[in-house]
Amino acid sequence: MIRPAVKISFGTLAAVRTCQRGDCPVSGRPVIVIAMTSSAIETSETNNKARRIGVTAVAAALLAGVAFSGTAAAAPSRPDLQATAQAIVDSGLAGVQLRVHDERGDWVGSAGVRKVGSTAKPPTNGRFRIGSNTKTLVATVVLQLVGEGKVGLDAPVADYLPEYNIDRRITVRMLLQHTSGLFDYVGAQLPDGTIVPGIPLAGQEFVDNRFHTYRPEELARFSLSKPAVFEPGTDWGYTNINYLLAGLVIEKVAGRPWADELQRRILRPLGMRDTFAPGTSPEIPGPHAHGYYRYQDAGQYKVVDITRQNPSWATSAGELISTTKDLHTFFSALHRGKLLPAPLLAEMRKPHPKGSYGLGLWVQDGGPDCGVVYKGMGGFHGYGTITASTPDGSRTFELSLTYGDKVSDTELAVAYDKADKTLVNKVICGRQS
């Protein structure tokens, strides 16, 4: 079964390198650091007002007295799914929100706690940082522009961003499929084994600077100032710089911030009112569970409530906030052909042989009794997100994980991978065990 081992954690680059050499917690495949990595960081925010789409609307709603409910409408009783959610929490997480759609209808529930030290469960309509699931939405916008003839999928990125002096062999397709070979601003391992650090996203240095604002232009120039990890199109390597540049391509072609274009093309038409790019705002407005970051400093473990943090480093590679309901709305529309013409959806779903990644979408072979599974996977300090769907959208799940204050990075990676496998087997493939 083809499935990437995804490490949603924030350890050191040395830890990432070790896992790349074959001792990943679950499957032994190369670690994919999603939206937030060991030495990860992505920047956003050219213009804070322009990039904080949705935040103004949320604030206006609050001022107008619109209340955000802490619970969703009553869902049909599914003790098996509730037990599954609890088992995921028991693997070492603070809390989960789970939404399932299958032949028995729609179910939503939560388990664990909203905040460490409390007994309240996470809200089933809670907002959370979706990490690299952002990439799928951004890829969809780029492919819409391709369909309209405004962007060439195999055109040089340099045609749209000439000011960055990007290697003309690098195409838009390479950005979306992670085959550009560009050095990632979150850090990278060079072919000779040398670890080159990126911006600080781990340990005490990150904690002390978690409200720092990064600009996408500075992150792009930082990445492009480093030597390439491999020649364009010759290999596969998951990086955030690819989608930062994809966001800049959207901005150049559309003439507006990528988040505004996303709002115009996808969020508003689909009624995704709880999905927005926070820009430099550290807040998660509305109902939400708290996420925690556990790290070592001077040989001692420390824990910080990391719910409030400036996500500008993640920009179009991972800064979005959403809900399980909105993610279900998006992925259902995508897989049912409502957002892209059939030929471009087929391009998106065509995986790279090494990375099992299409154009903004993970592609998993579920085996002869299950078939192909399409997935979105993401992480951020304190948060993890997994989405999965059958090709026709008849079976789906959306899972939000909040990390607690007890387990290590390695244990979190194992818990994330176990939750992924459990839900794919149970919900998507219909297996009993």
The first and second tokens of residue 142, run together, are 């780029």
For 430, left (φ over 0), alpha (ψ -120 to 50), or beta? left
In the chain, which stretches have pLDDT less than 50? 1-74
Q: Is 13-68+77-428 CATH 3.40.50.720?
A: no
Q: What is the C-alpha separation between 331 and 394, in angstroms, rounded? A: 11
Find, among 148, 134, 401, the residue nearest to 272 by Cα: 134
What is the rounded distance in angstroms from the CA atom of residue 32 to the CA atom of residue 73? 35
Residue 35: per-residue pLDDT: 35
pLDDT at 433: 60
Q: From the candidates 9, 38, 110, 132, which is the catalytic residue?
A: 132
The string of DSSP letters for 359-386 reads SS-EEEE--TTT-EEEEEEEEETTEEEE
Return the H-helix or E-strand segment holding 125: none
Q: Is 253 exposed, middle or buried (0-12, 13-18, 19+ CB in 10 A)?
A: middle
| Separation of alpha carbons 25 and 184, rounded Å | 23
Asked if 25 contacts 416 with a C-beta cutoff of 8 angstroms, the reply is: no
63's CB contacts (< 8 A; 6+ apart) are: none
CB 268 within 8 A of CB 137: no
Q: Which of 332, 348, 380, 350 has its CA nearest to residue 133?
A: 380
Q: Give catalytic status of residue 281 as yes or no.
A: no
Q: Are 387 and 373 in contact (CB under 8 A)?
A: no
Q: Where do the structural domains in the chain lie, given as residue ranges?
A: 13-68+77-428
Q: What is the pLDDT of residue 432?
A: 77
Instruction: Show the tokens assigned to 103.
Output: 């032949």
Give residue 75's pLDDT. Answer: 57
